[in-house]
């Protein structure tokens, strides 16, 4: 399905978007990737959504990526005798392992690993940061705190610990079960919550065993600090601004977002900007001006994808939300300033033949009348390298592997075509010319750039580039040889 923009749109599925008609409508409106939130829904409900997505993909003959977002460990306080208590600023409040119901002076925090990591001066944030506690003294089973931000605390509210690296694995037992389930279904991407260190990513990779690509969610200060190592261990990144804005000052999030997006682009790994992008559209058919600016900023920065959460999962206007994102993307990418920003932020790594080939393809496309860049890619690496260049012409990724085509649906500007195996470069040129014309990116009188690797079907061998016409005489001549 041809898009009129390069940035991809991720739509989360939920109660508002779980039928065939709705999922198909969301894809037709612009959703390229569907996110399955493993925090909500049974395995059978997830299985049914997966089945419907694959049916839509088959009916529309359009590769669709499925992203399974694992819940991660959830840290929560216990329960209160009165259900809730009001904490006032300056008051003392104790957290401990005693399972007795809490009151205005204490409550259970059933996570000994938190107490093991805490130090005096550390902050604990309760209920998305609405309540802030500062540790005065602590031990292996308690933390005596002072309330620095007052508010109502109630049963099982979430706890964030921004100042320390917790001795917690990113994968809980539930996550391990969910990971095995969704890999068995055949999802394309796994999103890891609560990543703090590269070892968390490696654990998930070992369990996935190549059945899905690994995307790390950056939502902890520790992940920001260790980002370079986490990025190296991951196949993609999500800038999860919700928890990041709880654990860090909200004013710190925009520069972090910009920095992380650029680093991902530098190493040719997809990056999603997520959380509260069109939050008001949960209840309103129209977004705010600030939300439109936020979406536009992520696109100007060169993000591979922008994401809808509750807007498409539980909101009243899921199709309108996707349509709004699509329209903003089309408008931004047609702005000359967008191209100026993208090209000014381009880096020029030259670490091998493949880097040189894709850079040359982009330069040729910019200096001659080339309609599209076509690349044959089994693993998807070449397509990602071309996407890093952010060329002015469409990218057509040709692959015989359906899984590769689906994963590339998350990558900037890639239009994926599933083709048969080819054994000669001339036949690759023929297939590319046909695809460019069939998709409407080129006419017979146009030229395209074709990249591939010899020998064929061997990952990481991109070593050839050709500028080729698209006319029927070329196809006839090659096929008649």
Provide the annotated active-site residues.
Answer: 35, 76, 217, 275
All residues at 6 or more sequence positions from 363 whose CB lies less than 8 Å from its CB, including other chains: none
Question: What are the backbone angles phi and psi of residue 259, rounded to the nearest 5°?
Answer: -65, -45
CB 80 within 8 A of CB 154: yes
Tokens of 17: 């978007």
Rounded Cα distance, 170 and 315, in Å: 29
Tokens of 20: 């065939």
C-alpha 150 chain-centroid distance = 35
419-445 b/e with 16+ CB inside 10 Å = b? beebeebbbbbbbbbbbbbeeebbeee
Unique residue bearing structure tokens 């049963």: 155
53 touches 34 (CB < 8 A): yes
DSSP codes, 363-395 = HHHHHTTEEEEEEE-SSSHHHHHHHHH--SS-E
Concatenated DSSP letters for 4-70? S-SSEEEEEESTTS-SHHHHHHHHHHT--EEEEETTSS-HHHHHHHHHHHHHHHHHHT---EEEEE-
- Measured CA to CA, the distance from residue 182 to residue 349 in angstroms comes to 36
Closest CA to 472 of 423, 428, 420, 434: 434
Residue with tokens 């599209």: 372
Give the up-direction half-sphere exposure of residue 319: CA atoms within 13 A in the CB hemisphere: 11
Residue 474: Cβ within 10 Å count = 16
DSSP helix, strand, coil percent of the chain (3-state; round to 5)? 40, 25, 35
Check if the beta carbon of residue 7 is closer than 8 Å to that of residue 31.
no
Q: Three-class SS string for 405-446?
A: HHHHHHCCCEEEEECCCCCCHHHHHHHHHHHHHHCCCCCCCC
What single-letter DSSP state applies at residue 346? -
């Amino acid at each position: 399905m041809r898009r009129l923009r390069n940035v991809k749109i991720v739509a989360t599925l939920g109660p508002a978007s779980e039928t065939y008609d709705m999922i198909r409508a969301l894809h037709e409106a612009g959703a390229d990737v569907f996110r399955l939130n493993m925090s909500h829904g049974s395995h059978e409900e997830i299985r049914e959504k997966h089945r419907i997505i694959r049916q839509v993909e088959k009916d529309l003959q359009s590769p669709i990526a499925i992203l399974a977002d694992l819940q991660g460990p959830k840290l929560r306080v216990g329960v209160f005798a009165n259900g809730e208590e009001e904490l006032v600023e300056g008051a003392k409040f104790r957290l401990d392992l005693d399972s007795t119901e809490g009151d205005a002076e204490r409550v259970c925090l059933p996570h000994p690993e938190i107490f093991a990591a805490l130090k005096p001066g550390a902050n604990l944030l309760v209920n998305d940061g609405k309540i802030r506690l500062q540790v005065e003294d602590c031990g292996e089973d308690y933390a005596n705190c002072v309330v620095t931000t007052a508010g109502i605390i109630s049963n099982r509210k979430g706890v964030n610990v921004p100042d320390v690296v917790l001795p917690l694995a990113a994968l809980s037992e539930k996550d391990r079960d969910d990971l095995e389930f969704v890999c068995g279904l055949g999802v394309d991407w796994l999103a890891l919550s609560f990543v703090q260190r590269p070892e968390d990513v490696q654990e998930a990779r070992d369990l996935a065993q190549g059945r899905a690509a690994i995307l790390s969610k950056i939502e902890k200060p520790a992940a920001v600090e260790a980002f370079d190592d986490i990025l190296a261990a991951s196949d993609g990144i999500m800038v999860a601004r919700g928890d990041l804005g709880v654990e860090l000052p909200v004013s710190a999030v925009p520069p972090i977002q910009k920095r992380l997006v650029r680093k991902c682009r530098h190493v040719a790994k997809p990056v999603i900007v997520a959380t509260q992008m069109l939050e008001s559209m949960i209840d309103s058919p129209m977004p705010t001006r600030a939300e439109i600016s936020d979406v536009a900023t992520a696109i100007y920065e060169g993000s591979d994808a922008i994401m809808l959460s509750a807007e498409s999962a539980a909101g009243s206007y899921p199709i309108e939300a996707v349509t709004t994102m699509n329209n903003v993307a089309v408008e931004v990418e047609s702005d000359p300033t967008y191209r100026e920003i993208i090209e000014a932020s381009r880096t020029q790594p030259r670490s091998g033949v493949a880097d040189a080939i894709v850079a040359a393809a982009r330069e040729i496309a910019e200096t001659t009348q080339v309609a599209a860049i076509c690349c044959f890619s089994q693993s998807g690496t070449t397509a990602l390298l071309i996407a890093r260049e952010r060329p002015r012409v469409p990218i057509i990724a040709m692959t015989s592997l359906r899984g590769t085509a689906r994963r590339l649906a998350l990558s900037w500007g890639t239009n994926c075509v599933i083709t048969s195996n080819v054994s000669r470069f001339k036949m690759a040129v023929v297939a590319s010319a046909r695809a460019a014309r069939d998709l409407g990116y080129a006419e017979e009188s146009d030229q395209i750039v074709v990249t591939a690797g010899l020998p064929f079907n061997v990952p990481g061998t991109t070593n050839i580039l050709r500028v080729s016409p698209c006319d029927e005489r070329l196809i006839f001549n090659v096929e008649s040889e």
